[in-house]
Amino acid sequence: MTELGDVVRGRRSTRMFLRDKAVPRELLDEAVSLAMRAPSNSNIQPWRIFITSGPRRDRLVEALLEEASVELPVTTGLPEAFLPLRRDLGALVYGSMGIRRHDAEARRMAQLRNWEFFRAPVGAVVCMHRDLGPVDSLGVGMFLQTLVLALTERGLGTCVQVSIAAYPETLREQLDIPDELTVLCGLAIGYPDPTFPGNYLAVPRNPVENNVVFLDS
């Protein structure tokens, strides 16, 4: 059995997949079954996920790229305190692709790959009932992290993608997502392209004391 610590440390966001290496359905089924064990408030299991591959995934990607090619969505604002971390991440990700800070066109092309699930053969859209609130989105997050770790354990790469949620109407139309669900994010699933340097980034984390407070006296 794999050690949990190894899986947690081994997971990283994959931003280029092997387009033609199919993901066995059995692995998806196993990972989804494990993720269903995630805890949730009152056990309401608020996650709803639409997992697409094959021609349906291709039609979705075509529609998303058509929209994003016209104009990229505006990036969600962040409070000032968090901006340096976003900048550092951008420098790391784009730097690994050899893209300079002011090369707007190269950045745009790289960003566009979000809407083709970074070429992953499987794309998922994560949703929650529109009348549920922040506490229940924690439940969805617990499901999603369990799913991602279970996929990692099976040798698959993943990338959680808020960018996918920028076009909810297209997602609804292409994947028959009912109106009562809010789209939260996407998830790209597939085998990482071993030749892509951006798949090997060790994105740093804060020192523990920045985020965690122990109080014992």
Ligand X SMILES: Cc1cc2nc3c(=O)[nH]c(=O)nc-3n(C[C@H](O)[C@H](O)[C@H](O)COP(=O)(O)O)c2cc1C
Q: Which stretches of the chain bind ligand X, using CB under 6 A? A: 12-13, 15, 89, 114, 159-163, 185, 201, 203
Nearer to ligand X, 25 or 69 (CB): 69
Question: Cβ–Cβ contacts within 10 Å for residue 88, how many?
Answer: 12
CB closer to ligand X, 5 vs 55 = 5
Which letter, b or e, does each residue of 46-85 get, where b requires 16 or more Cβ atoms within 10 Å of its Cβ?
bbbbbbbbeeebeebbebbeeebeeebeeeeeeeeeeeee
CB of 66 to ligand X, least distance (A): 18
Burial of 162 (0-12, 13-18, 19+ CB in 10 A): middle
- Reduced 3-state DSSP string for 120-140: CCEEEEEEEECCCCHHHHHHH
Burial of 187 (0-12, 13-18, 19+ CB in 10 A): buried
Give the residue closest to ligand X by C-beta: 163
Closer to ligand X by Cβ: residue 24 or 75 = 75
Give which of 188, 183, 201 is closest to 159, Cα–Cα.
188
Shortest spacing between CB 35 and ligand X, in angstroms: 15
Q: Least Å distance between CB 26 and ligand X?
A: 25
Min CB(178)–ligand X separation in Å:
22
Residue type, 138: L
Q: Which is nearer to ligand X, 161 or 174 (CB)?
A: 161
Of 34 and 185, the one with the shorter C-beta distance to ligand X is 185
CB of 216 to ligand X, least distance (A): 30
